[in-house]
Chain A
Amino acid sequence: MSVDIHNHLLWDIDDGPAQQEDAIQLAHQAVKQGISDVIATPHFRLGYAQPSVEAIKERTKQFNKLLAAQQIPLTVHSGMEIQLFADLDTALNTNEMVLSLNGSPYVLIEMPTTQIPHYIEDLFFNMQMRGFIPVIAHAEKNPPFQKNPDQLVQLIEKGALVQISARSLTHHSQRSVRKFANQLIQHRAVHLIASDAHHVEKRPFLLTTAYKAVRKTYGLSYTAYFKKNARLVLNGQSLFIHPPIPFNTRKSWQVFMK
């Protein structure tokens, strides 16, 4: 049974399902995809989309009751997909505005799509010093990383983990995104795969489909690693990473630039 650490399963809280019935449908789909635990991660965007911590926790509780009543074998945990902002480390510390994934040290972060901010190194370092581990959400869809993947590699070397969307490894996604997602796997720059499900048809759960694709292309050691990591994140346990391989092909002359 697998764990999904990034999806928008809770209804009427962000751009996920609008109605309770849609959420139940999504839950059925998750079970079909072999998922036993999901961490629901509503969007948190400072200033214009700020679901309260209480609302998320309340909705999660409500949902779990509903699932139990309908005998759907799925457990929902609460989390957030937090759009990066400069004070994230202090916000995490006070524990009132934002949520980590299921109360673990892992924090799901949505990176800006225009550029990687200059304060990122300091922020990630301070977060880690306070015991939080940044997880970069759907890195393969982020234009700055697409343009310069070594920025992502550097963030991994600074302690960040990388999550890619299950969808990006299947035929449902654009060819270029699929190619980049695979490159990231080949460069050991992926640590987690999650569904980022929003809607039963438009953005469904494709986790098992993605794991199957990974297993077919790369073998069992890869799927085992990704699945284990998702479980460790859920339980708040620490995971190890493999050394990422830099993308830079200009390395030979960069030596002279030092």
Chain B
Amino acid sequence: MDMTLDLKALAAILFRHIWIILIIMISTVGMSLFVTYQVMSPVYEGKTELLITTEQADGQALPSPGDIDSSLKLIDTYRAIIESPTVLNPVISDLENSLTIAHLKQKMTVEPLHDSQVLVIKVEDQDQKTAVNTANLIAQSFQKRTAELMKLDNVHLLSPAEYNPDAKQICPKPVVNTIISILIGGLFAMGIVLLKHIFNTSLSSEEAVTTHLEQPVLGVIPTLPKPASEDSISSQNALRQQLMHHWQDKTPIEPYQNLAASLLYLIKNETLKTILFTSPNPGEGKSLTSLNTALLFANSKKRTLYIDMDLRKPSCHYAFQLPNHVGMSSYLFHEMPISDIIQESEIEHLSIITAGPPPPFSARLLNVAKINALLTALKDDFDIIIIDSPPTFVSDTPLISGHADGTVMVVDSKSTRYPDARQAIERITQSDSKVLGVILNNFKMKHVQDYYY
């Protein structure tokens, strides 16, 4: 995969999917807000500050650096004392709840304030009163115990924890959480969009066709509206109902006119007569597209012959409601004269050769010389011959296309993958046939109604 992206293209891709990105970001923010306010319970903090002084002789105003150093070491000692059961046990018994020491240790932190001799005791709890209370109890208990243990009276309560009804919770923090969720959501969404772009092998736009297939786009056919369901025996015949002359007024005809115009241009300039329609895979719309193209040619008073060469999955007899007991296979496998297999359709100037009874597996080999003879014999009777062939991977197709003047590749903008389409075009060109271009079928037009005026 040769994937090089410049920044501009990258920005364009991201911008094209801005809605996906926004939606993912909004949903992550929503999730984080939900977690912040509904799932996590708020935590409050109680904080006391203690000053530890070293015992100094009176009058010595300034402590020497060595003294401060040793007092810092002392701070560590004090911290250990605070966290010892000696100090904490009375606190727990005073609190009158079933806290263990380990649990209490988790809730509290003891730290010096900026390397000073001030010790800060912080206690977190879901209830602010308990937090304040606990912090004060610890401080008091510590003060008492030092006096007893070290025979020192150098712990001074600087500021006791105070209950403040307006105090903000310390955790969770909505603003921080929101910012983090925006960042994560944004990155995640961009990742998804880029991955989607890298692994997207569909031919979803004209540019995709020209860059990946290096073929001109002869026409872009929008997704046709679903046929109205009527209650009759022919109601399941979708192909028939999507033929141009069965369309309702709102179906856009212009895309087909553009297609016919570009084909007519080619026919005139390159003196083509037989055009073969194929597609990389079945069900990509080659029959419908070729039928409607043939109808347009017939409407413009060109003597048109439509040949259904898809012998194994024939369809045009369904579309035109013609019998299929005699057709191409009768000529190919049973020497039936050409004049006997041509049927007139309900449309003026349009003649049809249906596929005929589908040959069984035993009669697989296609007599290409006979196809060539047929096309040569009919060249003078018709202005345009349109051949609907099997998908390109069927071995018949490259053989038949070798005898047509040009081949048109029909791709489905939603389902055809460009590696398949590229392979299909290679198979056609290898059989010395000319690929005229690509028809992008089933294209999602944003405003189909714009075509109706």
| A residues with CB within 8 A of B | 105, 121-122, 124-125, 128-131, 133, 157-159, 188, 218-219, 221-222, 225, 238-243, 245
B307 smallest CB distance to A (angstroms): 18
Chain A residues lying within 8 Å of B363, measured Cβ to Cβ, are 125
Q: Is B234's CB under 8 angstroms from A242's CB?
A: yes
Q: Which residues from chain B contact A131 at a C-beta distance below 8 Å?
A: 325-326
Considering only residues 325-344 of chain B, those with a C-beta below 8 Å from chain A are: 325-326, 329-330, 333-334
> Which residues of the partner chain B approach A238 to less than 8 Å between Cβ atoms?
323, 325-326
Docked CA distance A201–B213 (Å): 71
Set B318, B322, B358: member contacting A243, Cβ < 8 A: B318
Assess whether A242 is in contact with B237, with CB atoms less than 8 Å apart: yes
Q: Are A159 and B325 in touch, CB under 8 angstroms? A: yes
Q: Which of A121, A157, A242 contacts B233 (CB 8 A)?
A: A242
Given A133-B325, A159-B324, the answer on whether A188 and B358 have CB atoms closer than 8 Å is no
Q: Are A130 and B233 in contact (CB under 8 A)?
A: no
| Residues of chain A with a CB closer than 8 A to B325's CB | 105, 128, 131, 133, 159, 238
Contacts of B329 in A (CB 8 A): 125, 129
Residues of B within 8 A of A157 (CB): 358
Determine whether the beta carbon of A221 is less than 8 Å from that of B358.
no
CB-CB < 8 A to A124: which residues of B?
A: 357
With A129-B333, A133-B325 known as contacts, the answer to whether A158 contacts B358 (CB < 8 A) is yes
Which residues of B are found within 8 Å of A241, using beta-carbon distances? 318, 324
Instruction: List which B226-284 residues lie within 8 A (CB) of chain A.
Output: 231-234, 236-237, 239
Listed A/B pairs (16) with beta-carbon separation below 8 Å:
A124-B357, A125-B360, A125-B363, A128-B356, A129-B330, A158-B357, A159-B324, A159-B358, A218-B233, A238-B323, A239-B323, A240-B317, A240-B323, A241-B318, A242-B233, A242-B236
Q: Please determine whether A188 and B236 come into contact, CB atoms closer than 8 angstroms.
A: yes
- Distance in angstroms from A152 CB to nearest chain B CB is 15
Give A245 to B233 CA distance when docked, in angstroms: 12
Q: Is the CB of B362 within 8 A of A122?
A: yes
B-to-A contact residues, CB < 8 Å: 231-234, 236-237, 239, 315, 317-318, 321-326, 329-330, 333-334, 356-363
A240 touches B233 (CB 8 A): no
Q: Chain A contacts of B317 at CB under 8 A? A: 240
Residue of A nearest to B360 (CB): A121
Which residue in chain A gives the minimum CB-CB distance to B363? Answer: A125
Are A129's CB and B323's CB within 8 A? no
- A221: contacting residue among B232, B322, B334, CB under 8 A: B232
CB distance from B228 to the nearest CB of A (A): 15
Question: In the complex, what distance in Å separates the CA atom of A105 from the CA atom of B326?
Answer: 12
A193 CB to nearest chain B CB (Å): 13
Contact (A122, B360) CB under 8 Å given A239-B323, A242-B318, A243-B318: yes
Contacts of B326 in A (CB 8 A): 131, 238
**Inside 8 A of A128's CB, which chain B residues have their CB?**
325, 330, 356-357
The 8 A-B pairs of least Cβ separation, nearest first, read A238-B323, A221-B232, A121-B360, A128-B357, A159-B357, A129-B334, A240-B321, A243-B318
Please determine whether A221 and B233 come into contact, CB atoms closer than 8 angstroms.
Answer: yes
Q: Is the CB of B237 within 8 A of A125?
A: no
A219-B231 contact, Cβ under 8 Å, with A125-B359, A125-B360: yes
Expressed in whole angstroms, the minimum distance between the Cβ of B391 and any Cβ of chain A is 12
Contacts of B239 in A (CB 8 A): 243
Contacts of A239 in B (CB 8 A): 323
Residues of A within 8 A of B234 (CB): 221, 242
Cβ contacts under 8 Å, B357 to chain A: 124-125, 128-129, 158-159
> Given contacts A130-B334, A239-B323, are A219 and B232 in contact (CB under 8 A)?
yes
A247 CB, min distance to chain B CBs, angstroms: 13
**Which residues of chain B come closer than 8 Å to A219, judged between CB atoms?**
231-232
Rounded to whole angstroms, the CA-CA distance of A218 and B333 in the bound complex is: 39
Chain B nearest Cβ from A244, distance in angstroms? 9
Who on chain B is nearest to A244 by CB? B236
CB distance from A196 to the nearest CB of B (A): 22
Residues of B within 8 A of A245 (CB): 236
Q: How far is the CA of A209 from the CA of B265 in the complex (A)?
A: 59
Residues of B within 8 A of A243 (CB): 236-237, 239, 315, 318
Q: Whose C-beta in chain B lies nearest to the C-beta of A226?
A: B233
The CA of A131 and the CA of B356, in the complex, are separated in Å by 11
With a CB–CB cut-off of 8 A, which chain A residues contact B231?
A: 218-219
Question: Which chain A residue lies CB-closest to B359?
Answer: A125
| Chain B positions within 8 Å of A240 at CB level | 317, 321-324
- How far, in angstroms, from A5 to B405 measured CA to CA in the complex? 47
A162 to chain B, nearest CB (A): 14
Q: Which residue of B lies closest to A224 (CB)?
A: B233
| Chain B positions within 8 Å of A133 at CB level | 325
A159→B358 CA distance, assembly (Å): 7
